[in-house]
Amino acid sequence: MLRLEPRPQPSRAWSACSPLLALAVTVVLGVILFVALGKDPVRGLSVFFWEPVKNAYALSELMVKATPLLIVALGLAVCFRSNVWNIGAEGQFVIGAVAGGGVALLATPGTGAWIVVPILMAGILGGMLWAGIVALLRDRFNANEILVSLMLVYVAVQLLYFLVYGPWKDPMGYNFPQTKTFEAATRIPRLMQGSRVSIGLLLALLGAGVLWVFLFRTRAGFAQQVGGLAPAAARYAGFSSRRALWTALLISGGAAGLAGALEVAGPIGQLTPYVPAGYGFAAIIVAFVGRLHPVGMVFSAILMSMFYIGGELAQSRLGLPKSLTGVFQGLLLFTLLACDTLIAYRVRWSRKAGL
């Protein structure tokens, strides 16, 4: 029989290989799923893993999807490495979009491109404010940050709905719940002509580099992680666990808010009820598949964006529900959790039960 035997110490090799094994298992389960749905599994897998990368335009759309996922995941990595469980990045993303969109609505046809900076700053501050509520309740009242941050997602969504159905609704929009289209000056600059990829991609990659330096090459990054993981040891070393809490949530909220502002002032171009696209929740998977490491999260963000695009294509080309995106995301997360068992345990073959 097979049994699990504890390793003397965690395996670094399996820590790196576990996400790859999880992806392979996810692909196998995907084949079974397509067969069960009566679809050609080869065509189904090609929709998810080939169509998003087959040409330059597809790659550009892949980067558009990967940008907000990576930015949000980078902020979440700071939280999770600090043992702060911010599950409400989706709400911070929405508030960042609302704050950035509010500034964009102030623009007139004569406004210059300088307004892009206030839009992004408003998004960052909006996300930090929303995450700051979580930090305040955890700091002052010891409220559980998982529940508080998650519940605030629904408050943020309802606030967005109130604005687009109410005071910010476009009077010339044929009664659709949306704001007017933002002025051209508010649009996030694009990297190349004919592509929707914006400077947000550069900000995401720059953020990955800054996070790597912060976490692994600075005393502040070391203090941040110790303050969250071992408060008693942090106090002994002179580090503040309270500061670690506030820093983690404010960085995470600011990153999610920045992603929200980039999204509404970039690909969307207005506020609509469809701003909450699930990026804040999907970024949790991106963070863990990427091992909370900036480089790993770059690749996992690309993989997760393939699932988003694949789900949209599966809906239009295969007649499958768009919710298939969430199915693949969930499969990847649960297979990763299962494969992570091999980091602390090894599989042994025993000829006799109990040996």
239 assigned to some structural domain:
yes
- How confident is the model over 243-295, as pLDDT tens digits? 999 999 999 999 999 999 999 999 999 999 999 999 999 999 999 999 999 99
Quote the CA–CA distance of 155 and 152 in Å, as a whole number. Answer: 5
Q: Do residues 203 and 65 lie in contact, with contact meaning Cβ atoms separated by under 8 Å?
A: no
350 assigned to some structural domain:
no
**In sequence order, what DSSP letters do the residues of 258-301 get, joined into one string?**
HHHHHHIIIII-S--TT---SHHHHHHHHHHHTTT-HHHHHHHH
DSSP β-ladder status, 345-349 and 2-6: antiparallel
Nearest Cα residue to 308 out of 33, 68, 57, 6? 68
Residue type, 134: V
Using DSSP's 3-state secondary structure scheme, residue 242 falls into helix
pLDDT at res. 355: 46
pLDDT at res. 352: 61
333 assigned to some structural domain:
no
Q: Do residues 335 and 19 lie in contact, with contact meaning Cβ atoms separated by under 8 Å?
A: no
Quote the CA–CA distance of 178 and 253 in Å, as a whole number. Answer: 25
Q: Please state at what angle helix 324-339 crosses helix 12-36, rounded to 10 degrees.
A: 140
Our count of domains for the chain comes to 1
pLDDT at res. 82: 93
71 assigned to some structural domain:
no
| pTM, 2 dp | 0.93
Angle at 253 between CA 203 and CA 134, to 5 degrees: 175
240 assigned to some structural domain:
yes
Q: How many helices (H) and strands (E) does the chain have?
A: 14, 2
Nearest Cα residue to 288 out of 90, 69, 104? 69
> How many other CB atoms are there within 10 angstroms of residue 1's CB atom?
10
Residue type, 272: T
Start-to-end C-alpha separation, the chain: 9
Which residues fall within 8 angstroms of residue 6, CB to CB, at 6 or more apart? 344, 345
Burial of 157 (0-12, 13-18, 19+ CB in 10 A): middle
298 assigned to some structural domain:
no
Quote the CA–CA distance of 242 and 232 in Å, as a whole number. Answer: 12
Quote the CA–CA distance of 97 and 127 in Å, as a whole number. Answer: 9
6 assigned to some structural domain:
no
Q: Which residues of the chain have pLDDT under 50?
A: 354-355
69 assigned to some structural domain:
no
pLDDT at res. 194: 81
Quote the CA–CA distance of 255 and 71 in Å, as a whole number. Answer: 6
Which residues fall within 8 angstroms of residue 270, CB to CB, at 6 or more apart? 101, 170, 178, 179, 180, 181, 182, 264
Quote the CA–CA distance of 24 and 179 in Å, as a whole number. Answer: 43
Residue span of the structural domain in which 154 resides: 82-289
